[in-house]
Structure 1
Amino acid sequence: MASHHPIMTKEDLIAFLDREFPQIHMGGQSYFLEDIGPLSARMRMDYHDRHLRPGGTISGPAMMTLADLALYAAILGQIGPVALAVTTSLNFNFLRKPEPRALIADCRLLKLGRRLAVGEVSIFSEGSPDVVCHATGTYSIPERR
């Protein structure tokens, strides 16, 4: 796959997400964009009690949100601020219990076409090399006029 350089800076993408999706920060910000690279993005989710499920582990929905945001950020970094790019599918494999600390999501785009983007996301407990969740997803990109 040819090398792609992001057309949105990290700062531009953060401003876009804050403006278009302020609801992700309800109850206080816990999702942070750490990096945008060629066909990639890294997001962080701070550890917080609101992300826990019974049994004291980080919930699946919190990890799903983190993965979806990382995928969205990686795509927008490449195509620009297209708010109506939407998730068409997500598949999750929860591999091990995350440790009680921040989670890091590394996203890599596998395909970036005119109408579809496909990527994978590996989620780790901060400071650990073990993948706690692996996700794959597809986004539909609206026709640009």
Structure 2
Amino acid sequence: MFDQAAAEAMLKNVFAPWVQALGLSIESLDKDGAVLRMRFSETLCRDNGVICGQALMSLADTAMVFAVSSAGGAYRPMTTVDQTMHFLRPAANADVVADAKVVRLGRTMAFGSVTLTADGDPRPVAMAQLAYALLPESK
């Protein structure tokens, strides 16, 4: 079963150190997806105090890996094959929350969408559509 403990272990053991440095936490998991939080930090900002797009794209991608794992009941190796991101408004001086939903989970591919919002503001900061190739387990 893919629960909070499994997700926390996955965050520490599967992702690269620079992803771990984003300050992510798992807010919730269910059969349809996952919600992750990226804590605000000046290190994630451009020179004007706005959280950079690279950090937002990484949050969306990482949240979707958790959503696919939650929907599938366990982590499975996967690789991003497509990510389309639409930036709608700047995020500054607030945590960013990623609500990742699985649209389709097949045997070899998974598709999903992620909505990013600034904590306390329901208006979307960005929206992403993602696709993953689900890889066979290594022996």
Superposition TM-score, scaled by structure 2 size: 0.91
Unaligned stretches of 5+ residues in structure 1: 1-6
Work out which of the residue numbers 8, 19, 24 in structure 2 matches 1:31: 24
2:37 is aligned with 1:44: yes
- Partner residue of 1:126? 119
- Partner residue of 1:141? 134
- Partner residue of 1:4? none
Q: CA deviation at 1:99?
A: 3.3
Q: CA deviation at 1:88?
A: 0.6
2:5 is aligned with 1:11: yes
Q: Deviations over 1:67-113 (max 9, x none)?
A: 0011000011122122x211111000000111311000001111110
The number of residue pairs the alignment matches comes to 136
C-alpha distance in 1 between matches for 2:59 and 2:16: 15
Q: Deviations over 1:49-79 (max 9, x none)?
A: 1100121100001101110011000011122
C-alpha distance in 1 between matches for 2:135 and 2:20: 26
C-alpha distance in 2 between matches for 1:45 and 1:31: 5
C-alpha distance in 2 between matches for 1:85 and 1:39: 17
Contact 2:104–2:111 at 8 Å: present in 1 too?
yes
Unaligned stretches of 5+ residues in structure 2: none
Work out which of the residue numbers 71, 81, 85 in structure 1 matches 2:75: 81
Q: CA deviation at 1:17?
A: 2.1
C-alpha distance in 1 between matches for 2:110 and 2:16: 24
